[in-house]
Structure 1
Amino acid sequence: MLNHDDLTTEALCRYMLERQRDTISVQKPEFALRKLHVIIVAALDLSNRKGFQAMSLRDLSRASGVSMGGLYAYFDSKTTLLNMILSEVTAAVQRVLSTPPDAVKDDPVAHLKWLIAAHVEMTEEMQPWFTFAFMEAKNFPAAERRKAIDSEELTESYFADVIAAGIAAGRFRADTSPLLAALIKPLLQDWYVKRAKYHRRSITIDTYIATLQDFVLSACLADEARTGLRVRA
């Protein structure tokens, strides 16, 4: 089970405040947190509606109710704000996916299923953050675009490591495609990028997770275990 309280926008802003303490000039922590929360919510909402590139700091000031001077107390440019948001997305991925429960650590099948569930649940909780990082990546400056790509590759590496462990343990087929970890990523992204499509079809998050787990396992389970998976289905 994920600690969902750790993935709320307030919690993420608290992490952001701690990470940026040398650059954010507001001294009172609780006041700074409340104001930062308002700014980030407005920035994500504006960016996901009109695009980060099109959003000006004046737009953000109007939407958040924070003066231009107030905004500059938190960041000195849109690029700095972009880096702050991307850093929290990457940190959340690392924090969540690098800490599987003890019960799944030594079982590649259970671990792979947990990774899928954990990622989908995390992006459901942080949907505006992940949508921002995905939809805006093509418009980022080169350094920030590289940062977004690195975050995607980090996610892929967790899946690749578990798949490799499953192959080594004989739980996954030796001929499992080396592309499998890379192919899982767009399936995970589809949940938060195309949520309206699944909502129209009355697909719940639990159904999506279970379907994705079965689909991925069918591509890598050893033959005997794969037969068992078909029987259960």
Structure 2
Amino acid sequence: MDTARHPIALAIEGGIAIATLDRPPVNAIDDAWVARLEAIVEEVQARDEVRVLWIRSAGRAFCAGADLALMRERFASDEGRARMVDLTRAMQKVFARIERSPKVSLAEIRGPALGGGLELALACDIRLVADGAKLGLPEARLGLLPGAGGTQRLARICGDAVARRMILAAEVIDGARAVAWGVAQECVPAEQLEDAARALAQRIAAVPAPALAACKRCITAAVDGNEDGFAAEVEGTTMLYAQAETQALVRRFLAG
């Protein structure tokens, strides 16, 4: 357990890395927050025993987006606005690392996930939401756009129609609608959310790491179209057949 005071705490429990957003009151994003998330992703990538990155929050809010005090400070000058663009680039970079990682990422969304907070969740493989959670990319209402990957990932995950409705109308939706629209995979009563997320993280962590990585690669190939997904399946199958763990698991299965 990382006991130092950070905007994001990290704990390793077996094959699960638990990243807890802990910058009260709403886990607002600033440069230190992004740097800490980058360091956590770096550490998780380096730990072979970790198979799941579970991102959650210590308080009610998951992440309400950019730090408003920081925006006030920087928005008044050209230099300050340029620094905000740099922060957006840094967010894009770390969210892309989470998305591309061979580790499976899980976002547990208890409360508001807005702007950059939802963009973080969209970079994860799986999103579990509380029924009372609020999710949205409301930047257009301020004359802005969700620039840390929000336009790209929401359109890819939910389709053109949902992305246009949510982003152009700056709409904030609840957990049930998030699932109905494909923004999240499951909606759970708030009091059951942590247990549901833990159970799912443990289920995934029980899967062999090479199989998780190979499956993620093939799914990404299907979504992005930058790689022949059928060839990736054959290559992945060949690699997995050679794994001692796979051979033992298949033999046990075939033995009944």
Give the strand-richer structure, 1 or 2.
Answer: 2
Q: Which has the larger radius of gyration?
A: 1
- The TM-score, its normalising length taken from structure 2, stands at 0.30
Give the helix-richer structure, 1 or 2.
Answer: 1
Higher RCO by CA contacts (8 Å cutoff, separation 6 or greater): 1
